[in-house]
C-alpha cells in the first residue's frame, strides 16, 4: 500500500495537470473576448467545448476519487488548518460537485456560452434583446439542468449555483444580509437625494482622450501594485481580469472619451483582482487551495482598490495633479475638491459598472432576485426586459431607455455565470470589514495614500488574504482576519461617514 506522502503527492500531481489544462481554456476565452476575428467564433466554441470535456474528465477520474477516499480513510495530513488537510477538503468538495455533472452537459455549456457571448456583444451594440433571447433561453435551460444535477438537499436550486462562486453560501442567508443592507441604504440614498449639495458631475463628461486615459489608468494600476511585467491591459466589450497562471494575469477595460470614470475605475477594479491573483502562493498553484478563496473575497479586493482607495480624498491628493497634467483641457480650472466630489457623485444610474458606491448594491440585489426567478422557472427569459425595467423603476426610480442600458449591459448571463452577481455585494461587505481591520493594523492609511504609498496595504492583504488561497472557507477567512462574522454594518458605517461629509448631511 502506498504511503500517505505518496498518495498526497499523486493527488497534487493529478490536480495540477487538470489545472494546467483548464488554464488553456482560460487563455482561449481571453483571446475570444479581445483579439479573436469574428469569423473564428464558431471554431473557438468547438475548441472550448472539447477542452471543457477534457478538463471534466481529469477532475472526475476514478483514480482521483480513489486517491481522495484513501487519504480520507488513512492519511495523516497534519494539523486541521494546515494546507494539506485543506487541499484534501477542497479536492473532495470539488470532486463531488464535478462528478454530479454529465460530461455532455459540461461540453454543451462551454459551447453554447462561447457562442452566446459573441451574440451578446452584437445584441448589445444594436440594443436588441430579441436577437439575444434564444441564447439566454439556452443558457438558462442549461443552468437549470446543472442546478438539478448538483442538488444540495436544500430544495432551492439557486443554492447549487451560488455555491460554485461562494462556497457554503445559501440563498436565504445572502437574502437576509442583503435585506439589512437595503434597509440602511435606502434612507442614506434619500438623504443624499434631498441634499442641497450637488457635485458637478459634468466635469467627468468632458473630452478625455482615449490614449491619455490608457496611460493614466495604467500608471495608477502600477502604483497600487499591479505588476505589468507579469500582466497586461487590453480592451474588451466588458471589463474583466483573467488569471491565466503564475506570471500571467490579463486585465481588460473599455474606454469612453466622454466618461472618465468608466475606464479609470474599471482598471483600478480589475487591477484589484489582478493584485489578488499575483499575490497567491505560487508554490500552491495547481493544487485545490491554489485558487482565490471565493468570488466574494475576490470582489472584496477589486472593490477595495476601486472605492476605498481609488475614490478616497487621499488618493486624489496624490493623483489629481497628475490628472490635470494628463487632461489639461478637461480639468482646466477644476479644483481638487470639485473633482473629488464629482467622482463620488451619488445618483441612480442605469449601468452597474459605472454606479456610485451607495447605489451600487441595489443593482446587485435586482440581479440576485431576477436570477433566482429565472432558475426557479418563475421568470421566462422572454420576460426579462420588462421585469428588468420594472425592477429599476421600483428600486432606483429610473427606467432604462433601451436594452443596452438595461438587461443587456452585463456579460455574465451570456457566459453562464448565474449565481455570480451576489458576490459583488458580498465583496463590498467583506472589503469594508477588511479595510477597517487594516486601518487598525497599519495606522493612518490616508496619510500613506496621499504620499502615493500603497505598499503597506498591499503587503497586508498579501499576508492576510492572498497567500492563503482556499486554505480557509471564505466566511471563516474573513472572520479569522477581522474577528467578526460577515456584517453589512462596517460597509454602511463607511458609506455614511464618507457621504455625509461630501453631501453635508
- pLDDT for the residue 294: 98
In angstroms, rounded to a whole number, what is the distance separating the alpha carbons of residues 365 and 370? Answer: 8
**Is the separation of the CB atoms in 502 and 197 below 8 Å?**
yes
Query: Which pLDDT does position 144 carry in this prediction?
Result: 97
Is residue 270 flagged as an active site residue?
A: yes
Handedness of CA 240, 345, 461, 316 (dihedral sign): positive
Instruction: Please list the ranges in the chain whose pLDDT falls under 70.
Output: 1
Q: What is the pLDDT of residue 155?
A: 86
The pLDDT score that the predictor gives to residue 28 is 98
Q: From CA 403, how far away is CA 388, in angstroms rounded?
A: 9
pLDDT tens for residues 40-61? 999 999 999 999 999 999 999 9
**457 vs 309: CA distance, rounded Å:** 10
Cα 253–chain centre separation: 14
Sorted by where each begins, the domain ranges of the chain are 4-153
**DSSP summary character for residue 264:** H
Output the pTM of the full model.
0.96
What is the pLDDT, as a whole number, of residue 98?
97
Instruction: Provide the pLDDT for residue 391.
Output: 97
Query: Residue 463's pLDDT is what?
Result: 98
Let me know: does 356 contact 341? Beta carbons within 8 Å.
no
pLDDT at residue number 153:
73
pLDDT digits (tens, 9 = 90+) for 248-279: 999 999 999 999 999 999 999 999 999 999 99
The residues, ordered by sequence, that sit 6+ positions from 489 with a Cβ below 8 Å of its Cβ are none
Hunting for cell 503597506 — which residue is that?
A: 456
Distance (Å, whole) CA 451 – CA 287: 39
DSSP 102: -
Q: Measure CA of the first residue to CA of the last residue in the chain; give whole Å.
A: 71
Give the cell for residue 129. Answer: 434583446
- Cα 56 to Cα 238: distance, rounded to the nearest angstrom: 27
The pLDDT value recorded for residue 152 is 74
Question: DSSP 3-state assignment of 48?
Answer: helix
**188: number of Cβ within 10 Å:** 19
Catalytic residue among 146, 166, 270, 306: 270
Positive/negative CA dihedral, 135, 140, 141, 145: positive
Amino acid at each position: 500500500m502506498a504511503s500517505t506522502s505518496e498518495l498526497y503527492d499523486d493527488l497534487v500531481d493529478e490536480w495540477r495537470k487538470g489545472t494546467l489544462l483548464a488554464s488553456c481554456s482560460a487563455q482561449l476565452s481571453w483571446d475570444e473576448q479581445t483579439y479573436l476575428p469574428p469569423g473564428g467564433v464558431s471554431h473557438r466554441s468547438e475548441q472550448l467545448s472539447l477542452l471543457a470535456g477534457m478538463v471534466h474528465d481529469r477532475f472526475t477520474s476514478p483514480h482521483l476519487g480513489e486517491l481522495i477516499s484513501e487519504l480520507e480513510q488513512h492519511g495523516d495530513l497534519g494539523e486541521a488548518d494546515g494546507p494539506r488537510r485543506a487541499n484534501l477538503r477542497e479536492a473532495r468538495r470539488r470532486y463531488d460537485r464535478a462528478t454530479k455533472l454529465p460530461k455532455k452537459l459540461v461540453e454543451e455549456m462551454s459551447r453554447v456560452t462561447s457562442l452566446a457571448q459573441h451574440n451578446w456583444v452584437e445584441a448589445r451594440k444594436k440594443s436588441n434583446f430579441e436577437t439575444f433571447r434564444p441564447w439566454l433561453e439556452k443558457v438558462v435551460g442549461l443552468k437549470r439542468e446543472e442546478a438539478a444535477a448538483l442538488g444540495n438537499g436544500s430544495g432551492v436550486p439557486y443554492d447549487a449555483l451560488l455555491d460554485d462562486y461562494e462556497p457554503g453560501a445559501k440563498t436565504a442567508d445572502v437574502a437576509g444580509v442583503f435585506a439589512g443592507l437595503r434597509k440602511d441604504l435606502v434612507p442614506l440614498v434619500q438623504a443624499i437625494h434631498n441634499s442641497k449639495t450637488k457635485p458637478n458631475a459634468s466635469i467627468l463628461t468632458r473630452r478625455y482622450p482615449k490614449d491619455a486615459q490608457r496611460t493614466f489608468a495604467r500608471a495608477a494600476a502600477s502604483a497600487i501594485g499591479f505588476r505589468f511585467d507579469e500582466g497586461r491591459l487590453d480592451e474588451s466589450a466588458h471589463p474583466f481580469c483573467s488569471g491565466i497562471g503564475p506570471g500571467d494575469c490579463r486585465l481588460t477595460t473599455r474606454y469612453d472619451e466622454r466618461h472618465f470614470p468608466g475606464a479609470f475605475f474599471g482598471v483600478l477594479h480589475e487591477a484589484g483582482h489582478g493584485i489578488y491573483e499575483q499575490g497567491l502562493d505560487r508554490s500552491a498553484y495547481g493544487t485545490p487551495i491554489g485558487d482565490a478563496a471565493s468570488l466574494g473575497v475576490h470582489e472584496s479586493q477589486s472593490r477595495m482598490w476601486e472605492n476605498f482607495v481609488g475614490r478616497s480624498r487621499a488618493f486624489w491628493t496624490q493623483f489629481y495633479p497628475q490628472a490635470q497634467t494628463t487632461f489639461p483641457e478637461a480639468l482646466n480650472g477644476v479644483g481638487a475638491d470639485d473633482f473629488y466630489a464629482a467622482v463620488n457623485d451619488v445618483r441612480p444610474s442605469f449601468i452597474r459598472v459605472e454606479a456610485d458606491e451607495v447605489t451600487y448594491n441595489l443593482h446587485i440585489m435586482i440581479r440576485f432576485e431576477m436570477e433566482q426567478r429565472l432558475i426557479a422557472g418563475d421568470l421566462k427569459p422572454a420576460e426579462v426586459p420588462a421585469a428588468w425595467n420594472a425592477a429599476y423603476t421600483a428600486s432606483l426610480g429610473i427606467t432604462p431607455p433601451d436594452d443596452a442600458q438595461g438587461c443587456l449591459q452585463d456579460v455574465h448571463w451570456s457566459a453562464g455565470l448565474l449565481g455570480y452577481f451576489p458576490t459583488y455585494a458580498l465583496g463590498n461587505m467583506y472589503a469594508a470589514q477588511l479595510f477597517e481591520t487594516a486601518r487598525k493594523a497599519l495606522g493612518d492609511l490616508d496619510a500613506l495614500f496621499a504620499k502615493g504609498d500603497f505598499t503597506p496595504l498591499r503587503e497586508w492583504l498579501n499576508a492576510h488574504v492572498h497567500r492563503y488561497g482556499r486554505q480557509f472557507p471564505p466566511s471563516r477567512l474573513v472572520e479569522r482576519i477581522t474577528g467578526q462574522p460577515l456584517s453589512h454594518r462596517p460597509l454602511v458605517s463607511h458609506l455614511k461617514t464618507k457621504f455625509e461629509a461630501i453631501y453635508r448631511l
